[in-house]
Structure 1
Amino acid sequence: MSRLGSSGRRARGLVALTVTAASTLAAVAAVAGPAAATGPLEPAAAADRPNLGDACTSADLGTRHPYLKTAEVSPTITHFKGWYVTEGTTGSHEVTTSTETTITVSVGLEGKVEGEFAVELLTSAGASLGLNVKAEYSSTSTESDKVTWNFNQPGYYGVYKGTKKVTGTYGSLNCNRAQQDDGSWALQWIEGSGSGSFTTYTTLEEGAVRCQDDVPADSVMARAQNLLDCGSAAAEAEHLAGAVAPTAEQLRERGMQRAALTADASAEQSEATGPSTQAALDCQTTVYKIAVPGQPLSWGAPVLATDGVRLRPSTIFSAHLDHWRLCNVTETNGVLEATLWNWGNGGCATIAAPNSADERAILQTASCTEDDLQRFFIYRDVPGSSMVGVQNKYTGSMMGHDRYADGEFIRQYSSGRQNGTGTYSLIED
């Protein structure tokens, strides 16, 4: 492991986060900090979660936790219908609304909410903002579009459903070696790979509002009142009882929503395409086994392309399938980034693209390409120890296994294996 030593000390500093909140209904304390710096916002209910700079142990090398960088709350109308009530038509009406905005719970590039990391992140965001948010995959488009309301006065109403949309950015806390001021080394939680953005929302509320109603500013009801386009000729005109045509403000909102969805789809298509040519690798001469600490099983590459990397005993018949080289190696803040090339089959470790968003997707080998699915971060124990944690660059997930057994697959876990079965030994062979 001496060849893998850190090239310098990791700078240490405490940073603070300012969380912006568009809703006056969500009170978030803003903490001043160094200019242009952000850091984790830790909810009071999550005192057991690590903070940046806290000590960790070798068992944590194969794990990670989310931390909030920013969070913003904005009242959003998801369903709306202009409704005119005349004399003699007051009372209860069931109104079928139109979709204004669709909010989908998502975490990261893939948009899926799967695994412990995403759930912990969304739960943490809700606790930090004092809101009860969705912590699983859901969409406002699946909510009923019908609103039953008792109209006790004639007038021009906006019948709505809405919610508090919560968006923000997050980072990843990983355990890694860090050199201390006295020159010694210790394990501590650092900002690792795996930042991104998230979206969630609170429970939908419904109601009806008129232009003349006095409503709280920055509320869902105020947002619905804005869609009435109060003061316009359409709003002030006489109407027959029942549905009213969409206002100019509603049409603008829908146009912006369609444009955003088109942009998101284009971005996803761009992410889905990628190079497929064989890459030339600059590999180190050292050959490694990636082994379970103190146990005879190591990562063994598959003979068949359709199989995955498994725990295998090393024997004279292993045909170098248990031997790996680190290629195109870089180091940033003490964390190695490398392609893992297998000596036995000539392939590179990867998570298959169709399964990249799946919790517990199997680690495989494939033809080597310049692809982030084939790049891995290696988090190391203090010098003198060979123990490491391995994280896929594209998915952000940690490598681990369900149980210690011959033939057990190596898989990806969004938060790693909290029982220590994601910590391996990188042993020169």
Structure 2
Amino acid sequence: MLHTTAANRLGRGLIAFTVAATSAIAAMSFAASPAVAGTGTTASAQTQAELGDACTSADLGKRHAFIKSAEVAPTITHFKGWYVTDGSLGSQTVETTTQTVISVSVGETASIEAGFEVEALSKAGTTAGLEVKMSYTSTDSTSKSITWDFQKPGYYGLYEGTKKVTGTYGSLNCNRVDLGDGTHALKWVEAPDSGSYTTYTTLEEGAVRCEDTVPAGSVMRKAQELLDCGTTVARTDRAAAAKAPAPVATATRHPADRLTSPAASLTCAAGYYKIGTPDQSLFWTAPGFLQGDNVQLKPSTIFSLNLDQWQMCQGPEINGIAEQVFINHSSNKCLAIAEQSAGNEGSPLVQVDCKTDDLQRFYTYRDVPGSEKVGIQNKYTGYMIGHDRHAEGQPLRQYSSGRQDGSGTYVLLKV
């Protein structure tokens, strides 16, 4: 049930974070654009943002990734145990079977092309000290032939494998911070949204025998363990592996997780607001009758019929940042991300029937007191709201990192 109160309270302190990595991960600074393993490309340069650093009002609609945890695990994707005798030395082609399929993923995205997801994977690779895949790809799910020149008899494990990198990420958003002396400043703060990622390094293939001495923590050692050689060394290695920390869970949220608790009440501010471009020439306007669902930029006139006015209703706070629901004055429908394309870069803002759904909830990041500038982020996708160009009829869209030209900064005006 919706209740009416005075204006909402915003303000938060800075939250420290640490990067946890269970493998032998070197401590190093985040880099914006290491090389993409196996692709010959690099991530596009991005402005760096660090927790607690100063930002500007042009950054209110932007978002940057940081890594909260990372774990590296040697993983065998294809394997076959193979006996080689004195009479069968030389080159042989062996058909291996699939052991594990690894797919690159970041949070809820349907694809990884640019922006926030690439930045997150880039920083994950830097945290782990590895070159990792930074675009959508996966290891082969079918059997694979490996040709190997066998020089000695023995029991071999033929394998293809990689180092799988998993963990959790968070995002930094520009928001006002109370400095504690009656003044405020804009700083990069940890936003409520976070998620998990998976990537991996360049694939390697090879052959290993039970009696071979191989480096601990290597892909080859992992393949040797699969041979189940029965030696004391092998048993010791397997026991140590069994005691190793479990990998970070990387399961993707089920669509039902969009739904918040029905008991989560909303408190609506009195009156209505307009959301517009900083020059106040164009405003977020819900579609009129027979005009589709997309919310667009329109001039505000006496003929707008209140379609450019929104009631703001506040939900629960996370890390000092409150959820917001925007209800259109004219249609009484809620602002939302289009459900059928919610995981896509550039998915449009729409108005839909109000219900308890995180696609209809947003975080609002504000400039210092005295300024009406804001940036707005969808709760479920984590994407920032912006538009392609300053023009009447342009739809409002979501962008994983926001609009880097600052066009994702708007003004929030009380009617």
Bin for the TM-score computed over the shorter chain: 0.7 to 0.9
What does 1:170-189 align with in structure 2 at a 5 Å threshold?
170-189=169-188
Structure-2-length-normalised TM-score: 0.85
The structural deviation recorded for 1:12 is 3.7
The residue aligned with 1:81 is 80
TM-score scaled by structure 1? 0.82
Comparing 335-344 and 209-218, the one that deviates more: 335-344
Post-superposition Cα deviations, 1:308-367, rounded to whole Å, max 9, x if no partner, equal: 000001111111110001024445555332100001211101112221100000000000
* Unpaired stretches in structure 2, ≥5 consecutive residues: 1-5, 34-44, 243-247
Alignment match, 1:11: 13
**3-state SS of paired residue (1:190):** strand
- Secondary structure of the 1:134 match is coil
Task: Give 2:144's aligned residue.
Answer: 145
- Structure 1, unmatched stretches of 5+, are 31-40, 236-248, 254-259
The one-letter code of the counterpart of 2:390 is Y
**How many residues align structurally?**
384
> What does 1:355-394 align with in structure 2 at a 5 Å threshold?
355-394=341-380
In structure 2, C-alpha distance between the alignment counterparts of 1:413 and 1:307, rounded to whole Å: 19
Q: 1:382 to 1:356 in 2, by over 3 A?
A: same
String of CA shifts for 1:229-288, please: whole Å, max 9, x gaps. Answer: 0028xx9xxxxxxxxxxxxx9xxx9xxxxxx99x958x636448x59x9x9965322211
Residue 404 (structure 2) aligns with: 418
The offset of 1:44, in angstroms, is 8.3
Contact 2:59/2:406 (CA < 8 Å) preserved in 1?
Answer: yes
- Counterpart of 1:29 in structure 2 is 27
The change in CA–CA distance for 1:289 and 1:50 in structure 2 (over 3 A counts) is same
Work out the CA distance in 2 between the residues paired with 1:170 and 1:123.
12
Q: Structure 1 residues 215 and 422 mapped into 2: Cα distance closer, same or farther (>3 Å)?
A: same
Q: Residues 56 and 4 from structure 1, CA distance in 2 versus in 1: closer, same or farther, beyond 3 angstroms?
A: farther
1:320 counterpart SS class = coil
Q: Alignment partner of 1:322: what SS?
A: coil
What is the match of residue 239 of structure 1? none
Look up the equivalent residue of 1:289 and give its one-letter code: K
Which residue in the other structure is 1:95 paired with? 94
Secondary structure of the residue aligned to 1:97 is strand
1:336 matched to 2:337? The reply is no
Q: CA RMSD in A?
A: 2.9
C-alpha deviations, 1:120-169, integer Å up to 9, x for none? 11011112222110001111126872211111111110000010000111
Shift of 1:118: 0.3
SS in 2 for 1:161: strand
Counterparts in 2 of 1:214-363, with a 5 A limit? 214-231=213-230, 268=254, 270-271=256-257, 282-303=267-288, 304=290, 306-332=292-318, 334-363=320-349
Of 12, 20, 30, which aligns to 1:42?
Answer: 30
- Equivalent in the alignment of 1:166: 165
Distance, in Å, in 1 between the alignment partners of 2:63 and 2:142 is 34
Seen in structure 2, the aligned counterparts of structure 1 residues 202 and 62 have a Cα distance that, compared at 3 Å, is same
Q: CA deviation at 1:305?
A: 7.2
Structure 2 distance, partners of 1:221, 1:358, is: 38
Higher fraction of helix: 1
Deviation sequence 1:364-411 (CA, Å, 0-9, x none): 000000110000000000011110000000000000000000000100
Alpha-carbon deviations, 1:47-102, whole Å to 9, x = none? 95111000000000000100011111111111001111112211111222101011
Q: Which amino acid aligns with 1:193?
A: P
Q: Which residue of 1 aligns with 2:106?
A: 107
Give the whole-Å Cα distance in 2 for the aligned partners of 1:264 and 1:184: 42
Other-structure match for 2:414: 428
Relative to structure 1, the CA distance from residue 101 to residue 305 in structure 2 (aligned partners, 3 Å threshold; closer, same or farther) is: farther
Offset of residue 290 of structure 1: 0.3
- Is the 1:176–1:335 contact (alpha carbons within 8 Å) kept by the matching residues of 2? no
Q: Distance in 2 between matches of 1:51 and 1:144?
A: 44
Q: CA shift at 1:16, angstroms?
A: 5.1
Identity rate, percent: 52
1:21-60: CA deviation from partner (whole Å, max 9, x where unpaired)? 43x4xx4239xxxxxxxxxx63487995111000000000
Distance (whole Å) between structure 1 residues aligned to residue 173 and residue 99 of structure 2 = 40
Task: Report if aligned partners of 1:311, 1:409 keep a CA contact under 8 Å in 2.
Answer: yes
